[in-house]
Amino acid sequence: MSSADQKETKSKLSKESIKKSLRIFKYIRPYLGYFIAAMVFLVAGSLIFMALMGLPGEMANTAIGKPKFNLNLDVKDYGWIFLIVLIFQGILSYFRTYYFAIVSEKGMADLRKDLYEKIITQPVTFFEEKRVGELSSRITADVEQLQSVFSITLAEFIRQLVILVSGIIIIFVWMPKLSMIMLLTFPAIVISAMVFGRYIKKLSKQRQDELAKTNTIVEETFQSFTIVKSFANEWYESMRYGKAVDNIVKISMSFAKIRGVFFTFIITVLFGGIFFILWQGALMLQRGEMEAGDLFSFIMYTGILGGAIASFGTLYTQIASAIGATERIQEILDTPSELPIQRAETITDLKLKGDVQYKDITFAYPTRKDLTILKGINIDIKAGQKIALVGQSGGGKSTIVQLLMKFYNPDTGHILVDGKDITQYDLTQFRKNIGIVPQEVILFGGTIRENIAYGKPNASEHEINFAAQQSNSLEFITSFPQGMDTVVGERGIKLSGGQRQRIAIARAILKDPKILILDEATSSLDAESEKLVQEALDKLMQNRTSIIIAHRLSTIRDVDCIYVLENGKIIEQGDHNTLMANENGTYAALARLQYEYN
C-alpha cells in the first residue's frame, strides 16, 4: 500500500470514528429540551461572567475620575452591581448543572440499558469470543467516560469556547492594538492540538483496552477463587494481575509524556505571549495611550482567555478519549442480536407436545471448524419418552442438547420438534419449553426464593413452595432460620452440591417444560444426596420428553432408549437389557467397568 493510500485510509477511519461518536447523541435526543435549556443557561452565564470581568477596570477608571463608558455610576454603586450579578450568576449555574445532570444521567442510563440488552441477547458464540471482564469494562468504564463528557467536559468545552470568543471580541473592540498581538499565538496552539490529539487518542484507547484486561483477571479470579486457593496460586494470580497493571502504567506514562509535551508547548507559547502583551500594555500606559483601569481589565481578560486556551488541551484529550470509548461501545451496539428482548407477560405461550427428531446432523463448532464433533446423528424421541446419551467425554453428548437449545445451528441436517424445524420457532417461545438441570448448578447470589422463581419470574408463593416440595428441597429450606429468604451466596456457595441440584430441579419444575435435559445431574453427589435428587428427578421427568446425559449407567436403566456415542457417531442404541445382551458391545463394556469399580 502506498503512503497516499495509507493517508486516505487513516482519514477514512478518522471520519468513521467521528460518525460513530455522533451516533451516541441519539441517547441525548429524548432529553433535548433539558440540553437546550442547559446550553442557554451556560451561554448566558458565560457572557454575564465576561461582562462582569470588565467592571473592575471601569471601577478603577471611575475612581481616578476617567471612566471609559458613561455609566453615571459612583464607585460605591459597583458593590451592589457585583452582588446582584453574582447571585444571578449562581442561579444560572445551578440550573445549568442540574439540567446537564438530567441529560447525562438519564441518557447514559438508557445507553447502559441498551448495551446490556445487546450483550445479553448475543448468541453463545459471542461469549466464547469475548471475555467477561472486557464486556464489564465496556458497560462500566467506557460508559462512565462518556457520562463524564456529557455532564462536565462538553459543558466546560462550550463554556470556555464562549469565554474565548466573547473575550476576543471584547478586547478587540476595547484595545485593538494589544488584541492583535495576542491573536498571533492562536495558530501555533491550534496546529499543535491537532498533531498531539491523534497520539493522545491512540494511547487513550490502548489504556482502556488494558484496563479491560485487568478487569477480566479480577472477575475470573474472584469468581473461581476456590480453584485459585486449592492450587495455592494466589502468587501466580497476583503476578498476572501485577503485569497487567504494569502495562497500564507503561501506557499511561507514554500518555502522560505526550500530554506533558503538549501542555509544555501550550504554556510556553501562551504565557510567553501573555507576558509580552502585558509588557506592551505597560509601555502604552507609560506613554499615556491607555488608562490604568483599561490595562487592569485587559490583564484580567488576558488571564481568563489564557486559562480558556490552556483548558482546551485537557478538554480535547478527554473528548478524544471518549471517542475511543464510543467506538468500542458502538461496535457492540452494531452487533446483530440473537433475539429481541420481550417482557415475560408479552410472550405468547407456545404449547409443544415434545416430539424430537435429529435428522442426519453434522456439526463443528464455529471456532473449531476443522474438527467435526457430530457426524450423521439420527435420533427419534416421541413425546413423553426418556432417552439417554452415554459415551466417553468428547463424544458429542452435550453438543447434541446444545443444538436442540439452539445455542448453535447444525452444519447439515435438521432438528424437528413436533414435526417442525426448530429454526421456524420463535427462539424465546421455543426455549420456554425446554428445561435443564446441569451437572454444575450455578445459582445467583440472591435468596433461595429468587433462585427458584428464576424458572418462572411471575410465579406465586404457592407455586414456589410446591416446586420446592416436589424437588425434595422444602425440608432443608425450612431448616434455615430465614427459610426461603436465605441468601445462597455467590454462585450458591453457601449450599451443598445436593442442595444446589435440588434448587435447580425446583426451578425446572416451576418452569414446567415439555422437553427436559438432565446433564449428568447426579454424577458429583454422594449416595444420600443422589437418592434425594434422583427421587426429585423421577417426579420431574413424568410426562415430559427427557434427554439424559449420564456417566453413571445405574441411573438410566429404565429409560426407553439409550444412545451410545463414540467420536461423534451413534454406534449403539436400544434399552438397557438389549444393549447388555450384546456382550461385545461398547455399552456392556462400560457397564462392566462401572460395576467392577463400584
What angle (nearest 5°) sits at the alpha carbon of residue 104, between those of residues 98 and 108?
150
Neighbours of 234 (CB within 10 A): 12
Element at 363 (helix H, strand E): strand 356-363
Among the listed residues 139, 148, 111, the one whose alpha carbon sits nearest the alpha carbon of residue 322: 148
The CATH number of whichever domain residue 214 belongs to comes to 1.20.1560.10
Residue 189 is predicted with a pLDDT of 59
The verdict on 279 and 428 lying in the same domain is no
User: What pLDDT, on a 0 to 100 scale, did the predictor assign at position 363?
Assistant: 92
Contacts of 363 by beta carbon, 8 Å cutoff, 6+ apart: 372, 373, 374, 399, 403, 408, 410, 411
Residue-level length of the chain = 598
In a domain, 468, yes or no: no
200 within domain boundaries: yes
Q: Domain range holding 243?
A: 3-333
Beta bridge partner(s), residue 374:
363
Point out which residues pair with 412 in neighbouring strands: 362
254 and 356 housed in the same domain:
no
Grid coordinates standing for 530? 443422589
Q: In what order do the strands lie in the sheet with 356-363?
A: 374-381, 356-363, 412-417, 420-421
Three-state DSSP at 415 gives strand
Distances (CA, A) of 260 to 69, 257, 294, 307: 43, 5, 35, 17
Kindly report the number of other CB atoms within 10 A of residue 42's CB atom: 23
User: For residue 464, is it within any domain?
Assistant: no
State residue 26's pLDDT score.
83
CB under 8 Å to 494, separation ≥6 — which residues?
A: 486, 487, 488
Within this chain, do residues 28 and 154 fall inside the same structural domain, yes or no? yes
Q: What per-residue confidence (pLDDT) applies to 359? A: 92
- Per-residue cell: 389: 446419551
Q: What local confidence, expressed as pLDDT, does residue 193 receive?
A: 59
pLDDT of residue 358: 93
Give residue 7's pLDDT.
37
Q: How far apart are CA 359 and CA 362, in angstroms?
A: 9
Contact 413, 358 (CB under 8 A): yes
Report the alpha-carbon distance of residue 168 to residue 184 in Å, rounded: 12
- Domain match, 207 and 274 both: yes
Q: Are 302 and 372 found together in one domain?
A: no
- 301 and 352 in a single domain? The answer is no
**Residue 415, pLDDT score:** 92
Query: Is 535 within a domain?
Result: no
306 and 358 within one domain = no
Q: Please count the structural domains in the chain.
A: 2
358 and 315 part of one domain: no
Same domain for 424 and 349, yes or no, is yes
Q: Which of 333, 356, 383 is the last residue of a domain?
A: 333
The pLDDT assigned to 12 comes to: 37
Q: Helices 292-333 and 77-120 meet at what angle, rounded to 10?
A: 10
Domain assignment of residue 439, yes or no: no
Rg (CA), the chain: 35
Cα 448–Cα 452–Cα 453 angle in degrees, nearest 5: 115
pLDDT of residue 360: 92
Q: Is the residue at 209 inside a domain?
A: yes
Distance CA(485)–CA(496), nearest Å, equals 17
Segment-wise mean pLDDT, segments of 10 residues, the chain, 598 residues: 37 53 79 88 84 70 65 70 81 87 87 87 81 79 81 82 82 72 60 64 71 75 67 74 83 78 70 69 72 71 72 73 79 81 67 90 86 90 90 85 90 91 88 84 81 84 87 84 82 77 85 85 61 76 86 80 90 88 84 65
Could you tell me if residue 530 is inside a domain?
no
Please identify, among 307, 333, 359, the residue that sits at the C-terminal boundary of a domain.
333
> What pLDDT score was predicted for residue 507?
86
Q: Is the separation of the CB atoms in 47 and 162 below 8 Å? A: yes
Question: Which of these three, 333, 363, 393, is where a domain ends?
Answer: 333
**Distances from the Cα of 383 to the Cα of 205, 387, 422, 544, angstroms:** 54, 11, 16, 7
Same domain, 295 and 361: no
For the beta sheet containing 434-437, the strands, ordered from the edge strand earlier in sequence to the opposite edge, are: 434-437, 515-519, 545-549, 386-391, 561-566, 569-574
Q: Do both 124 and 257 map to the same domain? A: yes
Is 353 found in the same domain as 308? no
pLDDT of residue 70: 67
Task: Please say whether the beta carbons of 32 and 258 come within 8 A.
Answer: no
Residue 228 grid cell: 485459585
Specify the CATH number for the domain of residue 401: 3.40.50.300
Residue 476 domain flag:
no
